[in-house]
Structure 1
Amino acid sequence: MTRGLTGARGLTGGGRTPTIREVAEAAGVSRATVSRAFTRPDLLRPETVERVREVAARLGYTPNVVARALSTGRYATIALVVPDIANPFFPPLMRGAQQAADAAGYSVVLGDSDESPAREDVLLTKFAHQVEGVVLASTRMPSARVREHATRRPLVLVNRDIPGVPRVLIDSASGMAQAVEHLADLGHRRLAYVSGPASSWSNQQRRRAVRRVAAARGLEVATVQASRPTYAAGIECTSALLAARVTAVVAFDDAVAQGILAGLSAAGVAVPDDVSVVGCDDVVADTTTPPLTAVSAPTRMAGQLAVEVLLRILGDDDVADTRHVLDSELIVRATTGPAPRTRRRRGTTADRYTDGRRRSLGS
């Protein structure tokens, strides 16, 4: 005989996990409806799905994913593959993806490709036999290979624009354009763009935006390549930036910008008095010292939307070539200011550092 529920713990008497039958009885629906609320919510009315899941959560019920996979071939699991889990851009994206998956009764497995196209290829091949679909963020693989993987399992891209493959794109180029306009209005005439990975779609969009607006405003642009989009790579870029004699730097992302701030500080270069710095993504910008001016991107929303598109595909919706674009905007903080006005007369700290370094090297 079934005992009463324990209330706060949401378990049946004796700590037993409630059954699908008990959830169905409590919600006033059939067991099939409970199952569909977690596996095929698109087949039910939204209010029914909401009621069933609310009752299930209150009772402490979770679907038996293994049993369902054996009987239906559906694993209720999706994969999220990112190029670098340590990059601050991706945790908000992962959280948004996880929340959207949770709401639909799916689990998420994570793959980190370590910025390697070959590693991405291996991960997607493995996941093809283990998950129902994949969200592939900032892929570094060639387009043709991405399309091949999309024929094996439903696949949604984040920040890679490949026609024929569903994708969610963050238009960081618009924010980058605002950044260059902002620097031009502050009187800067020579700036640097610190570039991200060459195979990154986002990097290509950002670099083109910087060059386009700089040309329209009559600014000079030096390009410095970061070895990876990391804090350490940003520090490594500092000497090249100082040698380029720029008064402003636009970095590929916040992690690189953080490293640049640290490198400039170590060199005795004042931000923004001597050099202004702009980051991109705005995921850690308000925690830097000083707070970083950055292009703000709706990263979490991108992860959530990508999973929602993937779930629509799994529900047999025809979204083969859907393309969602999310806007970005510049958030001005303390790392940008007017261009140094005394540069020609006596030189900035950056000039003096570069000149002293050249003398010490005997050049």
Structure 2
Amino acid sequence: MTLPLDVSPDRPATIHDVAALSGVAASTVSRALSTPGRVNFRTRARIEAAAAQLHYVPNAQAKALSLGQTRAVAVLVADITNPFYFDIIRGTQLQLKAAGYRQLLVDTEESTEVEVNTAEQLRQTADGLILTASRLSNEALMEMAAKMPIVTINRDVPGVPSVMLDTPTATNQALDHLISLGHTHIAYLAGPETSSSSRRRWEALSAAAEERQVKVVRLGPFAPRTHSGAAAADALVHSGATAGIAFNDLIAIGMLQRLRERKVRVPEDMSIVGCDDIFGADFCSPPLTTVTAPVERAGRDAVTMLLSQLNPGYGTTPRTHAVLPTHLTIRGSTGPAPVH
């Protein structure tokens, strides 16, 4: 093989030099060096020989050497005790490990102040951030993205790479499910005021309820924890609604417990819908009807998106936005509207 004419000690070899020397496309070189199993043996051997001859250093490694990269990515979650985050953490961990990165896990305690301060500190110890259900403002996230590579999960901010779970669509499925059972007065048990996911679901529910000519009221906000379920259940009973759609499964599970204490039967007297389909949602009494989302995949996609920023040669088609589908899983906590 003959060296490209413009390769010299003063100009390090690029992925295009390796491609030219080995007679393949640059994308094939990228796959051969990042995921060798996707390229046949002979082509891979030719690419590896060309890379060795040119003393080629892949982008991520070159940047790490010249810019002091840590090969670590921080994953920020709002509440590490919330089972919703378990699958996200597993997805990010597995994808980062496969790419040779370490995961730094941070619990921001549902606090915007903790989230901002932690992100600022991590600029020195992590190459990038994945923020799950961030409580920061759009402006704060855009400012953060200008300082270092970030990807958000469940936050849609202009100019900031994101992975979205399409829970509003499945929440509307829940509304249609309840309407089909005869419910015409339904309540939404909202999450934190700072939660953009809660706002998006309420906006979708409000619009859908107006189209379907049923009454939907917003109650709350409630902290996204099981102990908030008691207050949410009391508010639901007081509202006169016959069904409630909770911001998340933890609130819904707490509601089931409180309704049982109040001798309100589920689903005979009241129907309950959750969101997230966390571990244990099908173990409740009754099992919880809930919105199911590909949560682990969201974690994996967020890592792939972030690594494409850190290393432009990573993966095939770099993305800055992904929307993952969700669906309603119907179980025993919903039933026909009571006849008064």
Does the pair score TM above 0.5? yes
Note the alpha carbon deviations across 1:44-82, whole angstroms, 9 max, x for none: 162269999xxxxxxxxxxxxxxx967761211000001
Distance 1:164 1:43, change over 3 A: farther
The match for 1:44 among 33, 44, 63 is: 33
SS at match of 1:324: strand
CA–CA distance in structure 2, aligned partners of residues 80 and 317 of structure 1:
22
Note the alpha carbon deviations across 1:296-330, whole angstroms, 9 max, x for none: 11111101110111111111269997110001100
CA–CA distance in structure 2, aligned partners of residues 159 and 317 of structure 1:
26
CA–CA distance in structure 2, aligned partners of residues 327 and 71 of structure 1:
40
Distance 1:48 1:280, change over 3 A: closer
**Identity across the alignment (%):** 37
Whether the aligned pair in 1 keeps the contact of 2:32 and 2:38 (CA below 8 Å) is no
Whether the aligned pair in 1 keeps the contact of 2:183 and 2:243 (CA below 8 Å) is yes
CA–CA distance in structure 2, aligned partners of residues 309 and 69 of structure 1:
18
SS at match of 2:211: helix
TM-score w.r.t. structure 2 length? 0.80
Amino acid at match of 1:152: K
How many pairs does the alignment contain? 288
TM-score w.r.t. structure 1 length? 0.75
CA–CA distance in structure 2, aligned partners of residues 92 and 288 of structure 1:
20
CA–CA distance in structure 1, aligned partners of residues 302 and 327 of structure 2:
21
Distance 1:71 1:48, change over 3 A: farther
Per mean C-alpha deviation after superposition, the further-off stretch among 202-211 and 92-101 is 202-211
Amino acid at match of 1:271: V
The match for 1:287 among 283, 289, 302 is: 283
Whether the aligned pair in 2 keeps the contact of 1:231 and 1:257 (CA below 8 Å) is yes
CA–CA distance in structure 1, aligned partners of residues 152 and 134 of structure 2:
8
Distance 1:177 1:189, change over 3 A: same
Whether the aligned pair in 1 keeps the contact of 2:30 and 2:313 (CA below 8 Å) is no
Residue segments in structure 1 that go unaligned for 5+ positions in a row: 1-39, 53-67, 344-363
The match for 1:196 among 191, 194, 210 is: 191
Note the alpha carbon deviations across 1:143-177, whole angstroms, 9 max, x for none: 11111111221100100001111100001000000
Whether the aligned pair in 1 keeps the contact of 2:305 and 2:318 (CA below 8 Å) is no
1:312 has 2:294 as partner: no
Distance 1:48 1:327, change over 3 A: closer
Whether the aligned pair in 1 keeps the contact of 2:249 and 2:278 (CA below 8 Å) is yes
CA–CA distance in structure 1, aligned partners of residues 64 and 32 of structure 2:
19
1:114 has 2:114 as partner: no
Aligned residue number for residue 181 of structure 2 = 186
Describe how 1:47-58 pairs up with structure 2 within 5 A. 47=36
1:324 has 2:322 as partner: yes
Residue segments in structure 2 that go unaligned for 5+ positions in a row: 1-28, 45-62
CA–CA distance in structure 2, aligned partners of residues 49 and 340 of structure 1:
57
Whether the aligned pair in 1 keeps the contact of 2:224 and 2:247 (CA below 8 Å) is yes
Q: Which structure 1 residue ranges, 4+ long, deviate > 3 Å from structure 2?
A: 40-43, 48-52, 68-72, 317-321
Describe how 1:56-67 pairs up with structure 2 within 5 A. none
Amino acid at match of 1:333: R
Note the alpha carbon deviations across 1:90-128, whole angstroms, 9 max, x for none: 111111110100111111001111111111000100111
Whether the aligned pair in 1 keeps the contact of 2:305 and 2:319 (CA below 8 Å) is no
Per mean C-alpha deviation after superposition, the further-off stretch among 214-223 and 116-125 is 214-223
Amino acid at match of 1:310: L
CA–CA distance in structure 1, aligned partners of residues 126 and 228 of structure 2:
35
1:274 has 2:269 as partner: yes
Amino acid at match of 2:332: A
